[in-house]
A and B are shown apart, each in its own frame.
Chain A
Amino acid sequence: MSQSRHGDDRTAVEPKDLSGAQRDELSAIIARFETVEGATLPILHAIQSAFGFIPPAAAPIVAEKLNRSRAEIHGVVTFYHDFRSQPAGRHVLKLCRAEACQSMGAERVARLVEAGLGVTMGETTADGRVTLEPVYCLGLCAVAPAAMVDGRVVGRLDEAKAGALIAEVAP
């Protein structure tokens, strides 16, 4: 049954089906890239931005419009870490786990955040509020450890800042 895991500002979509309006939206997105060569990634980004994830029912439609096989589109969706096959939590918190952040205690911060939210990396809290994800480098290596919360960057994470982040996303 429906679990309200999608963001407030996103269109609610059941993974299996698309409504007529959603199909129209999807067609409009695809049409925007009609003249773009190699449009698969731009289209998938636009779909994820509109729906919050790539609805599995969207893949065959994209495949048909791009004249590619369903398997190819499925292959692309599953290859890239960014594309979701189900909605994320209302907030997405990404913690950098790469070497520069490791050297400044990113692992300790990661354990703190995992404990604070009650999830491990890659999971969404049971109330659908927060998805916690690893990221490998935000280019903030001189202000490590770094994180990104809903697109906002945060650097020099320590216990206090990690606590503030947890309080912000899961009050």
Chain B
Amino acid sequence: MTMRIFVPGDSGALAVGADAVAAAITAEAARQELAVTLVRNGSRGLYWLEPLVEVETPAGRIAFGPVAPSDVPELVAALADPSPRGEGPPRGGGGAAPFTTHPLYLGLTEEIPFLKRQTRFTFARCGVVDPLSLDDYKAAGGLKGLAAALALAPEAIVDQVTQSGLRGRGGAGFPTGIKWKTVLAAEGSRKFVVTNADEGDSGTFADRMLMEGDPLILIEGMIIAGLAVGASHGYIYSRSEYPHANDVMAKALAIAERAGLLGTDILGSGRSFSIELRIGAGAYVCGEETALLESIEGKRGQVRAKPPLPAIKGLFGAPTVINNVLSLASVPFILAEGPAAFAAVGFGRSRGTMAVQLAGNIRHGGLFETGFGITLGALVDDIGGGTATGRPVKAVQVGGPLGAYFPPALFDTPFDYEAFAARDGLIGHGGIVVFDDTVEMARQARFAMEFCAIESCGKCTPCRIGSTRGVEVVDRIIAGRDVDANAALLADLCETMKFGSLCALGGFTPYPVMSALTHFREDFGLLPPNGRMEAAE
């Protein structure tokens, strides 16, 4: 019998040597005459264990990691050992398979606490299936949502999405059902569905992981969106920085076309939908929805003033649904399991699950899909295990380069749109970047302004000029020149950018800057609030 072995083809795994491990397994299995079928799955999202090698046993999949090519001969020898195998990973008791004593043995994958504690709606198949096997996809519950949608009227699909409470996972948190309803009601000779896969925020990789690990779910979600609003063509706008994801996505689209999932007769329903994959060209601002639409149209990625909303006048002037990858990928579950199943999880007005991404200086970095409401501290300390360097956590930036820096004093904040907003922060696309106590927060504030200056589209003045002036002001503070006056000037500049910018790039850059200035005053050469009062007396 052939043994099925899984080695992720996810780029996070490739970056730490998964290809070399896969090649070593193939070669070593041949040498030791072990019949092996190698599957290149997506990642389970346990990146500190990558390359994570899994082996199928009657008891379930068992994991080894992190595996280096030099570990492979011994690993294959353990797997090839003919003494009892199949009893599964024993915890005591007889019949222990020899591989259970391997130093990299992690037990049943599903029982690894980081994975077991999650609620996986959107990432249920990611890392489990062969991403490019439609049979795997169907066997694991795929296309059930689409089948349900095909039996419903457009209004009923929109209603289900509205009832689920799904909010845009790109960061703005706008109710997806309301957006779809607007597009459905809008007049237009043609309409579009656009996936925003321009995942440029540092600390985020959920879109990439899903496109590499379960691309068909995005295709299914987009088709459902098309049925719901009356669109027959869609675009996926991805990034040039994601060549692997784009490659998998392109192959998945070809598979879907061949299988009649896309085209002029979706699964024999007579309905049509097609999808085109577009690749950006290294402009962060194209993650902003109107800049993204400009870019698909072949223009500079400059932000459009709103209104008109893209839902009314979007791509090529037509009513357009533009949603994040994770929003659209949440839809098949909602249609398949019902909106109540989705809404049953969550916190306050944030319903369903969020794919939290633990990144940067963190011991257990990876993807953690869970219901909203878990605290920031639980994510960083309990699940993430604190810093990778073992030093104390000084700050975490939540929501990408436009998100606020929170000190551990705010770790009781629940992961929820409103709770973060109440503390002058945002959850954005769900990325959490951890910094240890060696970080200098004035430098991080400077970087936020610098990044805004590099990536500004140049359309509005507060962002274009404000970011450059912002770098200069922070430089003066770092140099110790008129620190109090310059800090006040920086706060004033942030106020102007926040309220005067056209889009979130200029409008949200004040979040990292002001949060650093507020919570880490010492790093700017300022006295902490209390000390300052006393000094002034």
Do A and B make up one complex? yes
Taken together as a complex, chains A and B put the C-alpha atoms of A83 and B388 apart, in Å, by 36
Rounded to whole Å, the gap between the CB of B269 and the closest CB of chain A is 25
Contact with B along A141-153 (1 / 0, CB 8 A): 1111010100111
Taken together as a complex, chains A and B put the C-alpha atoms of A45 and B199 apart, in Å, by 19
**A40 located at the interface, meaning its Cβ lies under 8 Å from any Cβ of chain B in the complex:** yes
CB-CB under 8 A for A100 and B360, given A75-B300, A139-B241, A155-B12: yes
**A95 located at the interface, meaning its Cβ lies under 8 Å from any Cβ of chain B in the complex:** no
- Interfacial chain B residues near A37, Cβ < 8 Å: 316
Give the interface segment out of A5-13, A101-109, A162-170: A101-109
Closest to B202 in A: A98
CB-CB under 8 A for A99 and B12, given A141-B205, A142-B358, A144-B360: no
**A16 located at the interface, meaning its Cβ lies under 8 Å from any Cβ of chain B in the complex:** no
A153 & B11 in contact (Cβ 8 Å cutoff): yes
Closest to B298 in A: A40
Rounded to whole Å, the gap between the CB of B452 and the closest CB of chain A is 11
Give the interface segment out of B54-62, B219-227, B433-441: B433-441
Give the interface segment out of A22-30, A112-120, A130-138: A130-138
- Interfacial chain A residues near B283, Cβ < 8 Å: 79-81
- Interfacial chain B residues near A144, Cβ < 8 Å: 359-360
B295 & A143 in contact (Cβ 8 Å cutoff): no
**A76 located at the interface, meaning its Cβ lies under 8 Å from any Cβ of chain B in the complex:** yes
- Interfacial chain B residues near A103, Cβ < 8 Å: 360-361, 433-436, 439
Selected contact of A143 from candidates B12, B245, B357, B451, CB within 8 Å: B12
**B213 located at the interface, meaning its Cβ lies under 8 Å from any Cβ of chain A in the complex:** no
Give the interface segment out of B81-89, B102-110, B166-174, B274-282: B274-282
**B366 located at the interface, meaning its Cβ lies under 8 Å from any Cβ of chain A in the complex:** yes
Rounded to whole Å, the gap between the CB of B459 and the closest CB of chain A is 11
A155 & B298 in contact (Cβ 8 Å cutoff): no
- Interfacial chain A residues near B431, Cβ < 8 Å: 100, 141
Taken together as a complex, chains A and B put the C-alpha atoms of A38 and B320 apart, in Å, by 16
Contact with A along B332-367 (1 / 0, CB 8 A): 000000000000000000000000011111100111
B242 & A139 in contact (Cβ 8 Å cutoff): yes
B447 & A99 in contact (Cβ 8 Å cutoff): yes
B202 & A137 in contact (Cβ 8 Å cutoff): yes
Total A-B contacts with CB atoms under 8 angstroms apart: 157
Contact with A along B260-284 (1 / 0, CB 8 A): 0000000000000000101111111
Rounded to whole Å, the gap between the CB of A8 and the closest CB of chain B is 20
- Interfacial chain A residues near B295, Cβ < 8 Å: 41
A143 & B202 in contact (Cβ 8 Å cutoff): no
B278 & A82 in contact (Cβ 8 Å cutoff): no
- Interfacial chain B residues near A68, Cβ < 8 Å: 298
**A39 located at the interface, meaning its Cβ lies under 8 Å from any Cβ of chain B in the complex:** yes
**A59 located at the interface, meaning its Cβ lies under 8 Å from any Cβ of chain B in the complex:** no
A45 & B279 in contact (Cβ 8 Å cutoff): yes
Contact with B along A60-102 (1 / 0, CB 8 A): 0000001010001001100111110000000000001011111
Rounded to whole Å, the gap between the CB of B515 and the closest CB of chain A is 13
**B24 located at the interface, meaning its Cβ lies under 8 Å from any Cβ of chain A in the complex:** no
**B296 located at the interface, meaning its Cβ lies under 8 Å from any Cβ of chain A in the complex:** yes
**A44 located at the interface, meaning its Cβ lies under 8 Å from any Cβ of chain B in the complex:** yes
- Interfacial chain A residues near B127, Cβ < 8 Å: none
Rounded to whole Å, the gap between the CB of B247 and the closest CB of chain A is 10
A142 & B12 in contact (Cβ 8 Å cutoff): yes
CB-CB under 8 A for A143 and B16, given A82-B240, A99-B447, A102-B447: yes
CB-CB under 8 A for A141 and B359, given A100-B202, A102-B447, A153-B14: yes
B15 & A155 in contact (Cβ 8 Å cutoff): yes
**B397 located at the interface, meaning its Cβ lies under 8 Å from any Cβ of chain A in the complex:** yes
Rounded to whole Å, the gap between the CB of A144 and the closest CB of chain B is 6
**A50 located at the interface, meaning its Cβ lies under 8 Å from any Cβ of chain B in the complex:** no
CB-CB under 8 A for A79 and B300, given A139-B205, A140-B205: yes
- Interfacial chain B residues near A76, Cβ < 8 Å: 298-300
Which residues does A use to contact B, with CB under 8 Å?
A: 36-42, 44-45, 66, 68, 72, 75-76, 79-83, 96, 98-104, 135-144, 146, 148, 151-156
Q: A141-B205, A141-B360 are in contact. List 15 more A-B contacts (CB 8 A).
A: A66-B298, A68-B298, A72-B299, A79-B301, A83-B281, A99-B202, A103-B436, A136-B454, A136-B455, A139-B204, A139-B205, A141-B359, A142-B365, A142-B366, A143-B50
- Complex A-B: 9 CB contacts under 8 Å: A80-B301, A81-B283, A99-B202, A99-B401, A101-B360, A136-B284, A139-B242, A140-B205, A144-B359
